[in-house]
Amino acid sequence: MKLATWNVNSLSVRLPQVLEWLKTNPVDVLVMQEIKMTDDKFPADIFRSAGYCAEWFGQKTYNGVALLSRTQASDVVKNIPGFDDDMARVITATVNDVRVVGAYFPNGQAPGTEKFEYKMEWLKGLRDWLKTEMPAHPKLLLMGDYNITFDDADVWDPQGMRDQIHCTDEERYHLNALIAMGLTDSHRLFAQAPKSYSWWDYRDFGFRRNRGLRIDHILVSAALKPLVKSCVIDTTPRKNERPSDHAPVVIDIA
């Protein structure tokens, strides 16, 4: 079973690229972030023609998440139960016997801002919900754009970005708290090339110079960990004309 996460940074702009990628990489599940469209604009019929069922949770201009699957998903949940939020950030569903949580974590803007405080509260709300979700669904993946790096290895300029957004101790505390709950970073289950990133700034030839961050992650539960065969970042779509600033991350589970 292959699953992928991809922040497409506007599905209306990137739809042809997503369809082309799915044709070349026929994964069983794709979760997308920043679809940036209202529910009535979502191209469900187009994805159905491509062989995918779709669940989506949109929002005008900002945010928005979706889940595509080869087989019909069930038990769909939108956003974090018990956490009051007017942003479309999370879509969860069961595909076969795997619980897939696709999430667009808040950016946080900068430490000390209201948006950063919202990010801290959101991360705690996510963890509180997962404390009940994980026992109910032993085979669980938490995948998406986390907007957080694990450590210096995930950052092209660790010294220059120290204590900046995506790299603060506060953010990494919450990320490691997810690990402490029993989740595992699937990417680091395998030897990876140095400077393996999933996001690059559009400015200053960020991708060409590989000045990036690894902020798109797939965490797996203890029951899935021994079944993971590979986890790779596919940088090919980042070379497209008018690409998303993120690349897909793909996991293969036995």
Please write the tens of the pLDDT for every residue from 56-66.
Answer: 999 999 999 99
Q: Is 145 a catalytic residue?
A: yes
**Residues 64, 80 contacting (CB under 8 angstroms):** no
pTM beyond 0.75: the answer is yes
Helix residue spans in 44-197 (DSSP H)? 44-49, 114-136, 169-180
Residues forming a β-bridge with 53: 69
- Separation CA 16–CA 21 (nearest Å): 9
Q: Is 104 a catalytic residue?
A: yes
pLDDT of residue 92: 98
Fold of 2-253: Deoxyribonuclease I; Chain A (3.60.10)
**Residues 193, 214 contacting (CB under 8 angstroms):** no
Give the burial class of 169: count Cβ atoms within 10 A of its Cβ; 0-12 exposed, 13-18 middle, 19 or more buried.
exposed
- Separation CA 218–CA 227 (nearest Å): 14
Question: Considering 104, 154, 197, 216, which one is annotated as catalytic?
Answer: 104
- Separation CA 121–CA 136 (nearest Å): 23
pLDDT-flagged residues of the chain (< 50): none
pLDDT of residue 246: 98
pLDDT of residue 88: 98
Question: Considering 28, 52, 145, 154, which one is annotated as catalytic?
Answer: 145
